[in-house]
Amino acid sequence: MTTRAAQPRHARPAGRASAALAGVAAVLLGIGLGTLTAALFVPASSPLPVVGGAMIDLAPPWAKDTMIALFGTGDKLALIIGILVAMLALGALAGVWEWRRAWSGAAVALALGAAAAIVAITREDAGMWAWLPSVLAGVAAAMAMRMLVRWIPVDAAATVRADGTATTRRRFLTLAGVTAAVGILTAVGGSMVRAGSQAVSTIRAALKLPAAASTAVTIPDGADLEIPGLSPLVTPNADFYRIDTALVVPNLDPAEWELRVHGLVEQEVRLTWNDLLALPLREAPVTLSCVSNQVGGGLVGNAVWLGYPIRELLARARPLAEADMVLSRSSDGFTASTPLGALTDDRDALLAIGMNGEPLPLAHGFPVRMVVPGLYGYVSATKWVVELEVTRFDRDRAYWTDRGWSEKGPIKLQSRVDVPRSQSTWAAGPVTVAGVAWMPHTGVSGVQVQIDDDPWQDAELGWDASTDTWVQWRWTWDATPGPHRVTCRAIDADGNMQVFERRPVAPDGATGWHTVTVDIT
Ligand SMILES: Nc1nc2c(c(=O)[nH]1)N[C@H]1C(S)=C(S)[C@@H](COP(=O)(O)O)O[C@H]1N2
Ligand SMILES: [Mo]
């Protein structure tokens, strides 16, 4: 064992660096053990995602915007990496404190673990053992920090001498290295265990969906314009944008899934997975868009959904006359407030179980989600839905409306140029300009294209599946050499022109025309 220093420890920078290293290694160990424990026993309660989830819920409204604008659908990974870096930095600091005063740094690790545990047990989907991974992480980090700091050689100058003290230093570095390595390996192992043995993905893979009893429209062969670079008419599941607040995708076993319809209703209704499968299901292609989609952005997609009309379900519950809103809630506590009228009129608002011929992918709401034509996702498209509360707008608020977003969220008329890509170069002559345009529930009647400040030209529309889906459009441009701007705008089925004025996504969706710049040689 090492002896105590005679001179003040902070006078020796090599010792301080070692202490910081000890702190980082200890925190890595804690996070690794916490992650592995969570993966094995309490999947929803992994320390880093739990802290990240709380940050998402507590973040000011502009923060979500910034994250999505900076990282797109990679916003979650960016957040996790940010938290990891912050934790390691705190670990380094705590290591130095621990080195100056025994247990002061360890106390920081314990406090962090305890804080994460408190967050974990207060999450909506927290189970009985939700606190365990974080407490374990805190205790492991604290113990490791205490132990490693005690192994820091007392006299840093001794490291240059090839004697016993040098061995002590090497032993410290080995111990710190092993601690960090165990942390990294358990963290990676934990992530792999989670990805590999997910019972729910196995259940999903074995599921056979029932056939639709009715179909809104069948997309005929050859309906897709199939232009290279143009978004396909139906977005493949793997390419469908994903936006939600869930850092760990909820794992819901259909056998345990139940939907409760209650609130301002004459009759409370409960629906199990088997109940749902036995009902006459409807299939409809519906375009879904995120309110955070920028002009020209990719947070929009079109899928063929299979589900039970929510209107029928509400008809069974019989909403009271005073009701004007349905607050849907997911298993992880997200809520959306949908105008009751949008769920009871004749549009294909679905309690969906299928997406493009497959059970919903886990990230898109397995086993059951909502899809409502014409409304942005944040006010309608609740994934992992477990509850519909019939209520009133003046009585209840939803997740994003609580954070400054508009109470009602009708999707705005938008169009996008997919090809040519911005900043691409083409040869002079005929160039195919193509894209998509959408105004779900109203429909698109026309798209126009403009080169630079030339007169607007009518584009040709692709197959118009229904008013609820986007349309592809194309136009052939006789391109002349030089730099050019290509702009598009859509006209909806009521004859309204897409709004020219540029407005940001908050609080109720962006407006403006999409322009790409191209070079013709
Ligand atoms: N449970 C849950 N459902 C949710 C969300 C969420 O954060 N949690 N986000 C909503 C938002 S903002 C959008 S745009 C859509 C996106 O659905 P997708 O990920 O399947 O494209 O889901 C909606 N449903
Ligand atoms: Mo969204």
Testing ligand 1's pocket by substitution, the residue of 244, 369, 371 carrying the most ligand atoms inside 8 A of its CB is 244
Residue 73 counted as domain residue: yes
State the pLDDT at residue 69. Answer: 76
Distance 490 CA to ligand 1 centre (A): 26
* CB of 292 shorter than 6 A to ligand 1: no
Residue 41 counted as domain residue: yes
Residue 439 counted as domain residue: no
Claim to verify: residue 136 and residue 220 sit in the same structural domain: no
Residue 324 counted as domain residue: yes
3-state class percentages of the chain: helix first, strand second, coil last, to nearest 5 = 40, 25, 35
| Helix (H) or strand (E) segment spanning residue 20 | helix 13-41
* CB of 338 shorter than 6 A to ligand 1: no
Claim to verify: residue 133 and residue 256 sit in the same structural domain: no
Residue 30 counted as domain residue: yes
* CB of 325 shorter than 6 A to ligand 1: no
Claim to verify: residue 263 and residue 368 sit in the same structural domain: yes
* CB of 172 shorter than 6 A to ligand 1: no
Ligand nearest to the CA of 386: 1
Of 403, 435, 459, the residue that ends a domain is 403
The verdict on whether omega for the bond into residue 60 sits within 30 degrees of 0, i.e. cis, is: no
* CB of 381 shorter than 6 A to ligand 1: yes
Claim to verify: residue 365 and residue 241 sit in the same structural domain: yes
State the pLDDT at residue 61. Answer: 73
Of 382, 403, 424, the residue that ends a domain is 403
Claim to verify: residue 26 and residue 169 sit in the same structural domain: yes
Testing ligand 1's pocket by substitution, the residue of 378, 403, 508 carrying the most ligand atoms inside 8 A of its CB is 378
User: Which residues in 318-428 belong to E strands, given as ranges?
Assistant: 325-330, 335-339, 350-355, 358-359, 369-371, 385-391, 414-419, 425-426
| Nearest-atom index, ligand 1, CA of 244 | 7
* CB of 364 shorter than 6 A to ligand 1: yes
* CB of 244 shorter than 6 A to ligand 1: yes
Distance 338 CA to ligand 1 centre (A): 13
Distance 290 CA to ligand 2 centre (A): 4
* CB of 243 shorter than 6 A to ligand 1: yes
* CB of 330 shorter than 6 A to ligand 1: yes
Query: What are residue 117's phi and psi, to 5 degrees?
Result: -65, -40
* CB of 99 shorter than 6 A to ligand 1: no
Number of CB atoms found within 10 A of residue 232's CB: 15
Claim to verify: residue 281 and residue 364 sit in the same structural domain: yes
Whose CA is closest to 396, among 244, 243, 264?
264
State the pLDDT at residue 170. Answer: 87
Ligand nearest to the CA of 333: 1
Nearest CA to ligand 1 atom 7: 244
Distance 507 CA to ligand 2 centre (A): 12
Of 137, 170, 197, the residue that ends a domain is 197
* CB of 290 shorter than 6 A to ligand 1: yes
Claim to verify: residue 292 and residue 190 sit in the same structural domain: no
Residue 95 counted as domain residue: yes
Claim to verify: residue 340 and residue 391 sit in the same structural domain: yes
Distance 384 CA to ligand 1 centre (A): 9
Nearest CA to ligand 1 atom 4: 382
Distance 78 CA to ligand 2 centre (A): 18
Residue 430 counted as domain residue: no
Distance 243 CA to ligand 2 centre (A): 6
Distance 274 CA to ligand 1 centre (A): 24
Query: What are residue 414's phi and psi, to 5 degrees?
Result: -145, 155
* CB of 347 shorter than 6 A to ligand 1: no
User: Which residues in 397-502 belong to E strands, given as ranges?
Assistant: 414-419, 425-426, 429-438, 444-451, 457-458, 460-461, 471-479, 482-492
Residue 506 counted as domain residue: no
Domain total in the chain: 2
| Nearest-atom index, ligand 1, CA of 331 | 1
CATH number for 346: 3.90.420.10
Claim to verify: residue 123 and residue 170 sit in the same structural domain: yes
* CB of 54 shorter than 6 A to ligand 1: no
Number of CB atoms found within 10 A of residue 170's CB: 12
Ligand nearest to the CA of 369: 1
State the pLDDT at residue 197. Answer: 52
* CB of 509 shorter than 6 A to ligand 1: no
Cα separation values, 30 from 9, 95, 180, 282, 447, Å: 26, 14, 9, 49, 56
State the pLDDT at residue 179. Answer: 96
Q: d(Cα 152, Cα 171) in Å, to the nearest integer?
A: 9
Claim to verify: residue 230 and residue 371 sit in the same structural domain: yes
Nearest CA to ligand 1 atom 15: 377
Question: What is the domain extent for residue 324?
Answer: 216-403
Distance 21 CA to ligand 1 centre (A): 40
Distance 291 CA to ligand 2 centre (A): 5
Claim to verify: residue 224 and residue 191 sit in the same structural domain: no
Alpha helix locations (H) across 287-339? Answer: 310-317
Claim to verify: residue 336 and residue 282 sit in the same structural domain: yes
**Tens place of pLDDT for every residue, the chain, 521 residues?**
444 444 444 446 678 999 999 999 999 999 999 999 998 888 778 888 888 888 888 887 778 778 777 777 778 888 888 889 999 999 999 999 999 999 999 999 999 999 999 989 887 777 788 999 999 999 999 999 999 999 998 765 444 445 555 568 889 999 999 999 999 999 998 888 766 556 788 899 999 999 999 999 999 999 999 999 999 999 999 999 999 988 888 889 999 999 999 999 999 999 999 999 999 999 999 999 999 999 999 999 999 999 999 999 999 999 999 999 999 999 989 999 999 999 999 999 999 999 999 999 999 999 999 999 999 999 999 999 999 999 999 999 999 888 889 999 999 999 999 999 999 999 999 999 999 999 999 999 999 999 999 999 999 999 988 999 999 999 999 999 999 999 999 999 999 999 999 999 989 999 999 999 999 99
Q: What contacts 168, CB < 8 A, 6 or more positions away?
A: 2, 151, 153, 158
Distance 383 CA to ligand 1 centre (A): 6
